[in-house]
Amino acid sequence: MAPPRGIAGHELFRIDAATGEVTARVVVSEAPHGIVVSPDGATVWTTTLGTGTVDRVDTASLALLGSTPVGPGPNGISLSDGGVMP
């Protein structure tokens, strides 16, 4: 399963680190950019440049859990010192 070509998209990819193969995809808001993973690996957050949101994804089910408006052009993202999303 190869990732699509182009700059903007609506997907995050799960990649097997040993093989480099895409093993799963999840649809998120337009143009995902920055990504952070919770310390327990259960949740991924991504900024989405196209819609100005931060999307939250469950890593086990690859379900989009929510989308929070944050304003135009969100870029980088990080967790607090406690490993949680503020």
Residue-level pLDDT, tens digit, the chain, 86 residues: 444 555 568 899 999 999 999 999 999 999 998 999 999 999 999 999 989 999 999 999 999 999 999 999 898 899 887 777 76
Question: pTM above the 0.85 mark?
Answer: no
The per-residue pLDDT for 83 is 72
DSSP string for residues in the chain: -PPPPSS--SEEEEE-TTT--EEEEEE-SSSEEEEEE-TTSSEEEEEETTTTEEEEEETTT--EEEEEE--S--------TTSS--
The per-residue pLDDT for 53 is 94
Residue type, 54: V
The per-residue pLDDT for 3 is 46
The per-residue pLDDT for 86 is 64
